[in-house]
Structure 1
Amino acid sequence: MSVHIEGFDDFDDEIRELKENADALDGNNEIPMDQLFTESFMESYTPFSSLAAFFEHSPWTVETRADFKSIPEDEFDRYVNDNTGFNDWETMLQAAGREWVSRQLGIK
C-alpha cells in the first residue's frame, strides 16, 4: 500500500532550493549598499526613493566608504531616527540585512 500526498514533491523541491540558497550564504558576505538598501526598502521605511537620496539629504557628503565612516555615530543615529522608521543606524542595517537574506533564500 502506498500513500501519495498531493504537493509533497513541490514542497520537497522548495526545501531543497532553500537549503542550497542557505548554503550559498554560509560564511561572511560583503553586500553592496545598493543591494542591501533597495528602492523598495527605502520607500517602505524612509521618505526617500534610494540610499543615494537619503545621503544627499543628509548634512554629510558621502561618496566613499571613508566618508561614511567619518560620520559621528551619535549624529548619524539621530539622522536615521529623524528620517526613517528606525531608532538608529544599527536597527536599520539589521532590518535591511534580514530583508536581503530573505531575498537570497527566496522567501517572500
Structure 2
Amino acid sequence: MSFEIVGFETELDTDAALPPDCESDDHTVPISFEGFFPSSFMRFYTDAETFAEFMRDSPWRVTTLAEFEMISEPDLDVYVDDRTEFRSWTEMLRAAGSDFIERVQNH
C-alpha cells in the first residue's frame, strides 16, 4: 500500500477521517494534508495546531496542491527546521507516514 497526499481540496481547518477502505484497487490511498498530518501530530511535533495553520503562518500563500508543489524543498526544509522537531520536510513526511500507517493499522 502506498499513499498520496492530495490536500487542499477540502477545508484545511477540518481533520479528514481516514478512508474506510484503506486499500483501493491500485493500492494507493488518497489523503488530504489534514488527514496525513492530523492535529495530534501537529501539536506534538510543531508549534502549530493544524497543518492549515502551519501553512497559513508560512511565508507562502498556499491554497492548492499545485501552489504547495511550487515551494522549493530547500526553502521548505528551512521552514520545517524552524517550526518543528524535524530538520527537513522529508524527515517530517517520514514521521507522518509512520504515524499514518500506525493509525490505519489500529483503525
Whether TM exceeds 0.5 here: the answer is yes
Which residue of structure 2 lines up, in the alignment, with residue 16 of structure 1?
none
Shift of 1:81: 0.6
Shift of 1:28: 2.1
C-alpha distance in 2, partners of 1:33/1:72?
18
Which residue of structure 2 lines up, in the alignment, with residue 97 of structure 1?
97
C-alpha distance in 1, partners of 2:41/2:33?
12
Q: TM-score, normalised by structure 2?
A: 0.73
Which residue of structure 1 lines up, in the alignment, with residue 38 of structure 2?
38
Runs of 4+ aligned structure 1 residues displaced above 3 Å come to 23-26
**Structure (1/2) with the larger strand percentage:** 2
Task: Go from structure 1 to structure 2 and tell me whether the alpha carbon gap of 1:60 and 1:104 turns closer, same or farther (over 3 Å shift).
Answer: same
Q: Indicate the structure (1 or 2) with the bigger Cα radius of gyration.
A: 1
**Between Structure 1 and Structure 2, how many residues are aligned?**
85
Which residue of structure 2 lines up, in the alignment, with residue 8 of structure 1?
none
C-alpha distance in 2, partners of 1:24/1:46?
27
Task: Go from structure 1 to structure 2 and tell me whether the alpha carbon gap of 1:24 and 1:38 turns closer, same or farther (over 3 Å shift).
Answer: closer
Which residue of structure 1 lines up, in the alignment, with residue 12 of structure 2?
none
State the Cα RMSD in Å: 1.7
Any stretches of 5+ residues in structure 2 without a counterpart? 1-20
